[in-house]
Amino acid sequence: MRHVHRHKSHSSSQDTFIVTRYVHRHKIDSKMLRGSLVLLIVSTLELVLSQAPVDLCNGAIDVDGTSYKSHEECDKFIECSYDATGKQYGWVRQCSFGTYWNMDLLTCVAVDKAACTRDRCAGKPDGEIYPAANNCRGFWQCAGGKSQPQCCALDQMFDTALSACVADKQKTCKSTSCFPRFVVPTICDKEAIPGKPGFYNEVVSGWGKMERPCAPGTGFHQESCHCLNAVELSKVVRPCKPEIYLPFTTNHMDESGNEFHVKNTNVVVSNGMAYFDGNTSHLEIPRFTNIQHGTTIVINVKYQSNHNVIQGMSQAIVGNNGCSNIPTLLIAEDSSNVYIGVGTDNKTFAYTDLPQFGQDGETREIMYKFANGTLYGRMSAPTGQMSENSVAAPGNFRQARCALQVGFADDLVPFKGWIDELTVYLCDPAPTSA
């Protein structure tokens, strides 16, 4: 079913969340431990056990029944929830290497995008090093009073005792991906050479890396993968990258590089697809609780469902009205249409429909585009069948103070079917196509 290109390696999610469940240990059930990526770190467990749960969750900010709070260590956060008996419990969660918790965005973000006043490097001299909690190739180095993520070379690992990179003799660290998150990975066959701005290395098939010069007056620019002169450099437009990318390759996690937190409730990922049972399955993305007044939102969702059997109420595909609020973003379907809607600060809920087509088991792709004061939708299938529509939606996107939910929305039927891939942009990846 996975017919699309996947040139990324997905090992980075392995260090995504190291979950430390420390209270109500007896309540840990198989549901909580679903997924092979969940590791219990016993040492951290002991560290935090002394805190009473009530203290741990005090002051946490509630988002649809799950609350979040900063931790005293910048690269951790606290997530609190209620168990079936209504008792609150909390977890200390570890951000992946190179990221810090950001309370405004409710997710871990690259350290340069998070202001954490308790940075371990605050007041420390430049060059001081300390180990990374959850990456055997990674370490932190102080520069300007801030912790900067660094990586040992591929065949090396960070030795905590020596505080240095050493050869990874046992190959224990071999498959650990490590990259400092300042550099957004791009698909580029060239790489900058430190200290030689007028040159780059190019990977030539059969030859390996070859050093090449840029044209006179230009310097190599990694992000655009080109040699640019000063004028060109000043005009570099940041490429439109996904804010959230859920390919469901092996799990439900965000692989956009942002590694935004996605909370999974009963969604089962197998064969590169996510199955939603039409009852309790949904995904929740708290990062979208706080999107402020954007002018552009583009969502692409590839999915399969048997829309022909939907009776009465529509089923939710993506929405942000899972907490008894009015939606400001909605994608839903019934037997005759796909419905898309957006709420703007001009108080409109602009919506339109895309006539349904296709069979059970056939992948369809919906593009939802709110841009330039217009809401545009298009549904297409590999067969070439297509339907589209647009409606005026003046104003800026109105935030809903509710997480983005996949497969669930208040007053709609939960989604039953498969989602193959979901991508959310806060920019327009193809400005000319609509």
Ligand X SMILES: *[C@@H]1O[C@H](CO)[C@@H](O)[C@H](O)[C@H]1NC(C)=O
Contacts of 90 (CB under 8 A, 6+ apart): 22, 23, 53, 56, 57, 60, 78, 79, 80, 81
Residue 341 CB-density burial (10 A; 0-12 exposed, 13-18 middle, 19+ buried): buried
> Residue 136: which of 22, 18, 8 has the closest Cα?
18
Apex CA 48: angle with CA 47 and CA 49, to 5°?
100
Indicate the residue among 86 and 123 with the shorter CB distance to ligand X: 86
The full DSSP string for 52-119 is -HHHHHTTPEEETTEEEEE-SSTTEEEEEEE-TTS-EEEEEEEPPTTEEEETTTTEEEEGGG---TT-
Sign of the Cα pseudo-torsion (125, 131, 134, 137, in order): positive
Indicate the residue among 161 and 237 with the shorter CB distance to ligand X: 237
Whole-angstrom CA distances from 160 to 9, 99, 138, 146, 262 are: 27, 20, 11, 20, 31
Indicate the residue among 271 and 280 with the shorter CB distance to ligand X: 280
Indicate the residue among 18 and 409 with the shorter CB distance to ligand X: 409
Residue 67 CB, shortest distance to ligand X, in Å, is 23
Residue 394 CB, shortest distance to ligand X, in Å, is 3
Residue 163 CB, shortest distance to ligand X, in Å, is 50
Residue 369 CB, shortest distance to ligand X, in Å, is 11
Footprint of ligand X (CB under 6 A): 279-280, 346, 372, 394-395, 431
Indicate the residue among 172 and 433 with the shorter CB distance to ligand X: 433
DSSP structure class, residue 26: G
Determine contact, residues 276/336, Cβ cutoff 8 Å.
no
Cα 45 to Cα 54: distance, rounded to the nearest angstrom: 16
Indicate the residue among 294 and 395 with the shorter CB distance to ligand X: 395
Indicate the residue among 70 and 405 with the shorter CB distance to ligand X: 405
Residue 180 CB, shortest distance to ligand X, in Å, is 34
Strand, helix or coil for residue 396 = coil
Residue 225 CB, shortest distance to ligand X, in Å, is 25
Indicate the residue among 126 and 345 with the shorter CB distance to ligand X: 345
Tally helices (H) and strands (E) across the chain: 3, 32
β 99-102/190-192 pair status: unpaired
Indicate the residue among 280 and 359 with the shorter CB distance to ligand X: 280
Residue with token string 């809607």:
341
Residue 345 CB, shortest distance to ligand X, in Å, is 8
Residue 431 CB, shortest distance to ligand X, in Å, is 6
Residue 231 CB, shortest distance to ligand X, in Å, is 23
β 349-355/364-371 pair status: unpaired
Which residue's CB atom is positioned nearest to ligand X?
Answer: 394
Q: Which residues lie across from 199 on neighbouring strands?
A: 213
